[in-house]
Amino acid sequence: MESCPKRDGYVKIDFAEENLYLYTEEGEQGRLPVLILSLRERNQYRRPAVGYVAVSVDSRYHGERANSVTAYRDVWDLIKLTDYLTERKDVDPSRIGITGESLGGMHAWVAAAADTRYAVGVPIIGVQRDHYSFVLLFLLVLMVAEARTDLYKSEIDSEIVEKVWDQIAPGVAHEFDAPHSILAITPRPLLILNGEEDPRCPVEGLQSAMERVVEAYYLAKSPGNFKFISEPGIGHEMTPLMVKEASNWFDKFLN
Residue-wise pLDDT tens digits, 137-193: 444 444 545 555 555 566 655 666 666 666 666 656 566 677 678 899 999 999 999
pLDDT at 213 over 60: yes
Which pLDDT score is estimated for 137?
43
70-94 residues labelled b (16+ CB within 10 A) or e (exposed): bbbbbbebbeebbeebeeeeebbee
Q: Are residues 158 and 242 in the same domain?
A: no
Q: Are residues 43 and 158 in the same domain?
A: no
Assess if residue 155 is contained within a domain: yes
Number of structural domains in the chain: 2
HSE, CB side, 13 Å, CA atoms: give it for residue 213: 27
Q: Are residues 120 and 135 in the same domain?
A: no
Q: Are residues 150 and 181 in the same domain?
A: no
Residue-wise pLDDT tens digits, 45-72: 555 567 888 888 776 665 555 554 444 5
Contact yes or no for 178/192 (Cβ under 8 A): no
- Most confident of the following: 115-119, 178-182, 209-213: 115-119
pTM of the predicted model, to two decimals?
Answer: 0.75
**CA-atom Rg of the chain in angstroms:** 19
User: Domain limits at 69?
Assistant: 32-129+177-254
Assess if residue 92 is contained within a domain: yes
Mean pLDDT of 212-234: 96
Residue 226's domain is classified under what CATH number? 3.40.50.1820
Assess if residue 20 is contained within a domain: no
Q: Are residues 64 and 97 in the same domain?
A: yes
Q: Are residues 140 and 183 in the same domain?
A: no
CA-closest candidate to residue 245, choices 188, 195, 207, 175:
195
